[in-house]
Amino acid sequence: MNIKPEPLSLVDSSLLEKIDALFACNVGNDVDLPQLIVVGQQSSGKSSVLEGLTGLPFPRDSSLCTRFATQIIFRRASRKRISARIIPSKDSACEHQEKMKNWGRELTELDPESFAGIMREVIDLMGVGPNQGPGSPAFSKDVLVLEIADPTQEHFSVIDVPGTFKRTTQGLTTKDDIALVDNMVKGYMTNPRSVMLTVVPCNADIATQEVVEQAEDLDPTGDRTLGVLTKPDLVDKGAEKDILDLVEGKRHKLKLGWHLLRNPGQAELASHSKSRNELEEAFFKNVAPWNNLEGEVVGVKSLRGRLQGILASHIRKEFPKVKSDVQSKLRAAEKKLKGLGPAREGPIQQRQYLMRVAGEFQDIVSSAIGAQYSSSPDFFDENNNHRVSTRARQRAEEFSKLMTDAGHRFDFEGIGEEADESNEGLLKAEGATTTRSFVESDDIEDILSMDYEVQYPYCEGILDWLTELYNNSIGFELGTFSSSLLRTTMQKQSHKWKHIAKGYISDLIAIVHYFVSGLLHYIVPDQRVLEGLSSLLSDHLRGKYLEALERTDSLLRVELEGTPATHNPVFVDTLKQLRTLRQMERLGDTKVEIKDHGHMVRFYDAIHFHPLQNGEHMTQEIHDILKSYYLLARKRFVDNVRMQVADDLLVTGPNTPLKIFSSEFVSGMTDEQLDDVAGEDPNARRNREAVQDKINLLRKAMKILR
């Protein structure tokens, strides 16, 4: 029987045409699209509901039951045209996808025989159903699209999905098929832009209908669920009230409500005496208690009217969101493609790609050295240790303070007026501190200094210590001390410099290395390229780090093993000041304060004060010389380590580790190195092609949505 579909005018045809065009180009795989779906368990009357809505003669043969989703599209056109095509599942193999895309049929009529013929052909093509042989799947994720164009037709689109079931049929379905259909149906229902017609037979307990429960879970507000009740003619006597309560909203309320249909039986359809609409209208007009229901909640004609309002409101509301989603996904895909960079199939393309990456690397390095962190906030705000200039400056200040507070073995003695000032060490807390503070450097920890514990200096006892050293070094000198004694005392007084300086430079190496590693991860999304670059740069970076440590050792050797020396007048001035203060301290009470002239000493007292023993005098002289030289040498050493090692060799100099990965470095790479680092493996090429295909698809979608 050829059922003539009645013209449907459910929503603005231009919007539906755009949505159908999006479905046709498979954008639905990436973006949720507004759609009307009919869901229900097998034998719920779902196919009859679709017949009523579309006017199409769905096959009654049980072997042709719905084994895949079917999208039915009606549209107005200048001439009549019926076509069939298949949208392949995105999860299927490439060969299968091509096979499905290449299939298509044009029909002049879609009567029961031709419809059944199309369904058989599609079932065979998809390789599903009992006729495909043992082990063949019973259902497919592919989508059959039927498009009916007619001069009298208004635009309408609906998707039929396989009916769910809970019991297997030997030789036909398995438990895997149950799960596959459940997941397929749930996938369509999960789409937040789908309007669901949940079909439930009146002669079944609604509490057992999982499709109703799923709809409530996925659409808790009920904005997109319309319940459809079928088979009221099969309801047992006395059970009608439960159905009436549903339709009238007295129980199991749905925001969009329930609708009651009376689908014709096989015998009624075969008699050709009355149309489906005539049979249904007579039923709801004459059969109690159904004839007591309002006309807008019964019959397929009024169902179309309800759908008109629901779909019109839903699609107009969702359409801007669809456009926004497409734009968002297009931007994300373009960003991903940019991150993958251009195709890299040969040394020229590979070198160009690495040149671009190196340029971006050095741009951010320049910003980091200049503390221009706003230029790349995503990178610099991610971790404060990426702010390498700031972190290096902070660590330098920590180094200077630790050298001042704990670099010496003994605090120096305060002399005269100097003793009243804040003498070094006297106000410091007793105990110990450590020489390292930054340890995120597992891959280079083998070349760095260990984290040593250094004790704060002794607050007292330096003169006793110097006296012992002097007594153990006395030779045949007259009125003086051995020239080697100053070097010995300097070495012992500053023996902690090595651990403190090496700890500082090790920390700075770790900071620089962490920055380089973090920046490579930031600008190189391709894991293969990242690993290749990291491996290639590793030896060069380690060489720079070792150079910095060797320079630190050199400065330590000069200061601690060489002969103490300086031409800095500060040394002479400091020593002169200390000797003067000590002389004034010895004179003690012989000083007389004279108004407007300061303190004066009588000549007699100056030449007759009681002199110190020669040993005591030598100890104090050694102390004052050591103090004058130590303070000068410590400041010189701190500045040298900071400027010559930390700054010049690690951070701001022309050949620091930060400057290694540059265009010059890439220019010097061999073709083999280029291929090892930047060459693409087949997976990367396929990934790029897939992203490019997605971009092309989304750009096509944007043209449709304009």
Q: What is the pLDDT of residues 432-464, one digit of tens each?
A: 899 998 877 778 989 999 999 999 999 999 999
pLDDT band with cut points at 50, 70 and 90 for residue 424: very low
| pLDDT of 174 over the 70 cut | yes
CA distance 357 to 362: 9
Kindly state the DSSP code that residue 496 receives in the 8-state scheme: T
CA pair distance 128, 322, nearest whole angstrom: 33
Q: How far apart are CA 106 and CA 97, in angstroms?
A: 20
The pLDDT of residue 604 is: 55
Q: How many Cβ atoms from other residues are within 10 Å of residue 561's Cβ?
A: 10
Residue with tokens 């009529």: 109
DSSP strand pairing (143-150 vs 69-76)? parallel
The answer to whether residues 622 and 489 touch, using CB atoms and an 8 Å cutoff, is yes
Two structure tokens written together for 130: 């009992």
- Tens digit of each residue's pLDDT (9 = 90 or more) over 538-564: 999 999 999 999 999 999 999 999 889
- Does 306 score more than 90 pLDDT? no
Question: CA–CA separation, 545 vs 318, rounded Å?
Answer: 59
User: Is the model's pLDDT at 354 over the cut of 80?
Assistant: yes
Residue 291 confidence (pLDDT) above 60: yes
Model pLDDT, residue 3: 43
Q: Residues, the chain, total?
A: 706
**Rounded to whole angstroms, how far apart are CA atoms 440 and 514?**
7
Assess whether pLDDT exceeds 80 at residue 505: yes
Strand blocks (E) in 88-161: 104-107, 143-150, 156-160
Query: Residue 572 phi/psi, 5° resolution?
Result: -65, -45
Under DSSP, is residue 440 helix (H, G, I), strand (E, B) or coil? coil
C-alpha to C-alpha distance for 529 and 684, rounded to whole angstroms? 11
Q: Which residues contact 318 (CB under 8 A, 6 or more apart)?
A: 34, 193
pLDDT score recorded for residue 458: 92
pLDDT at 135 over 90: no
Residues 6+ apart with CB under 8 A from 16: 10, 155, 156, 157, 315
Q: Which residues of 599-627 are buried (b: 16+ CB within 10 A; e: fewer)?
A: eeeeeeeeeeeeeeeeeeebbbbbbbbbb
φ/ψ of 340, rounded to 5, equals -75, -20
The pLDDT score that the predictor gives to residue 659 is 95
Structure letter (DSSP) for residue 428: S
Give residue-wise pLDDT tens across range 561-590.
988 999 999 999 999 988 888 877 766 655
Query: Using CA atoms, how far apart are residues 255 and 227, in angstroms rounded to an integer?
Result: 10
pLDDT digits (tens, 9 = 90+) for 194-246: 899 999 999 888 877 888 889 989 998 888 899 999 999 888 888 899 899 99
Note the pLDDT of residue 479. 52
Distance CA 592, CA 601 (A): 6
Under 8 Å between Cβ of 626 and 571: no
Report which of 192, 257, 268 is spatially closest to residue 227, judged by C-alpha positions: 257
Q: With H, G, I as helix, E, B as strand and everything else as coil, classify residue 93.
A: coil
Reduce the secondary structure of 78-122 to three states and give it as a string.
CCCEEEEEEECCCCCCHHHHHHHHCCEEEECCCCHHHHHHHHHHH
Which contiguous run of DSSP H or E holds residue 197?
A: strand 194-201
Neighbouring CB atoms inside 10 A of 345's CB total 12
Average pLDDT of the residues of the chain: 85
Task: For residue 289, say if its preceding peptide bond is cis, omega within 30 degrees of 0.
Answer: yes
Q: Is the dihedral of CA 454, 460, 462, 467 positive or negative?
A: negative
Instruction: Specify which residues 659 forms β-bridges with.
Output: none
How confident is residue 367, by pLDDT bands cut at 50, 70 and 90? very high
pLDDT score of 531: 92
CA 458/CA 121 separation, integer angstroms:
96
pLDDT number for residue 537: 95
Residue 481 confidence (pLDDT):
66
Q: What is the pLDDT of residue 609?
A: 53
Q: State the pLDDT at residue 558.
A: 94
With H, G, I as helix, E, B as strand and everything else as coil, classify residue 75: strand
Neighbours of 155 (CB within 10 A): 21
Which three-class secondary structure state does DSSP give residue 73? strand
Those residues whose C-beta lies under 8 Å from the C-beta of residue 593, and which sit 6 or more positions away, are: 599, 600
Residue-level pLDDT at 312: 78
Asked if residue 62 has pLDDT above 80, the reply is: no
What is the structure's pLDDT at 563?
Answer: 87
Tokens of 285: 């007009």
Mean pLDDT for the stretch of residues 495-523: 95
* CB contact at 8 A, 375 and 522: no
Burial of 542 (0-12, 13-18, 19+ CB in 10 A): middle
Nearest residue to 38 (alpha-carbon basis) of 210, 244, 272, 197: 197
Residue with token string 């100099």: 653
Q: What share of the chain has pLDDT > 70, as a percent?
A: 88
If you average pLDDT over each of 65-74, 181-190, 419-428, 676-685, which comes out highest?
Answer: 181-190
Q: For residue 419, is pLDDT > 90?
A: no
**CA triple 170-172-176, angle to 5 deg:** 90
Categorise residue 113: left if φ over 0, alpha if ψ from -120 to 50, beta otherwise.
alpha
Percentage of the chain beyond pLDDT 90 is 43
Would you say 104 and 83 are in contact if contact means Cβ atoms under 8 Å apart?
Answer: yes
pLDDT of 671 reads: 93
The whole-number pLDDT of residue 645 equals 97
pLDDT given at position 5: 45
What domains lie within the chain, and their CATH numbers? 13-330 (3.40.50.300), 348-679 (no CATH)
pLDDT at 8: 45
- pLDDT for residue 512: 96
